[in-house]
Amino acid sequence: MNSQQSIHRVSHEIKRRKLVVLRVTDLTPRMRRVTLHGPELTGFISLGTDDHVKLLFATTPEEQAALESFTPGGNSEGPRPVMRDYTPRRYDPVSGELDIDFVLHGDGPAATWAEQVEPGQSLYIAGPRGSMIVPDMFDSYLLIGDETALPAIARRLEELPAGRRALVVVQIQEDAERQVLQSKAQVEVIWVVRGEQELLQVVAGLTPPSGDLYAWVATESALSRKVRRVLLDDFKLDEAAVKAAGYWRLDESEEA
C-alpha cells in the first residue's frame, strides 16, 4: 500500500454555527431531511463520508442562553445544551446548503425537534471535529448499517467512482423505508426488514465482494460489535480495513 494512500484522520477547527432551516423534505415515512443555510455556514468542512456534526438543543432557558457562546470541546462552565451526533448528508458550498437526515423514531431531543421542524427555525451545530479519509485504494466495499447509517452509506456510494463494487446491507423498519441509492459504482443492496430477518444472520451468509475490500459497519452498538467479529473471524478481513461504529444503544432512546 502506497504511503500516500492510506486511511488517515484529518482534524478540523471546531466552530459553533447558528443556521436556519431552509427546507423540510420527507424522504420516507420515517426519514426526514432538513436543509440548513445561513452566513455562518461559510467555511464548513466535511471531508469524510461518515463525518458527524454535533447538533445542539436547549431544554431550559439557561441552556438556550448558553448556546450563544457554547463551543463543544471547550472549557465552558455552567449550563450545557444537549448534544447529538449526525452525519452531514450533503454540503454544497456554492448554494450554501447543508442537509441533515433524521430518523423520526419519536424519542429524544433531535427526533422530537425534527418531528415539528419548519422552515425559518434555527439550529445550532458544531464540527465536524475531524474526518476519516478513506482514499480510493480499494476494489470493493461492504457497507452495513440501519436507518441511522443510511446518510453515511448513501454519501459513500455517491463518492465511489466507476469500476468499484459495493455490497450494501441495510436494516429498516419496513419496506417503505427503502431509499434509492445513487452511485457510479456497481452496487448491490440487500434490505433487511426487522421482524422478518436478522441482520447478523444475513451478514453471516454473505459472500463478500472480491479484491481489496473495505468494510464499514454502523448500527446499534452491541450489534456492530457482533458484526465486526463476523467480518474478522469468519470472513478473515484485514482489521485495518474494517471500521465498526455504534450509532445508538438499546438502553438509550436517542441515536448517537
Instruction: Provide the pairing of β-strand 186-193 with 165-172.
Output: parallel
Helix (H, G, I), strand (E, B) or coil at 154: helix
* Residue 74: pLDDT band with limits 50, 70, 90: low
More confident residue, 64 or 121: 121
Residue 79's pLDDT band (cuts 50, 70, 90)? confident
Q: Of 241, 242, 205, 199, which Cα lies nearest the Cα of 220?
A: 199
Over residues 225-255, the pLDDT tens digits come to 999 999 999 999 999 999 999 999 887 544 4
Could you tell me if 245 and 144 are in contact, meaning their C-beta atoms sit under 8 angstroms apart? no
CA distance 58 to 60: 6
Asked whether the beta carbons of 17 and 40 are under 8 A apart, the reply is yes
* Cis peptide bond prior to 128, omega within 30° of 0: yes
pLDDT band of 162, cuts 50, 70, 90: very high
One-letter-per-residue 3-state SS of 7-57: CEEEECCCCEEEEEEEEEEEEECCEEEEEEECHHHCCCCCCCCCCCEEEEE
Check whether 256 has a pLDDT greater than 50. no
As a whole number of angstroms, the distance between CA 75 and CA 112 comes to 28
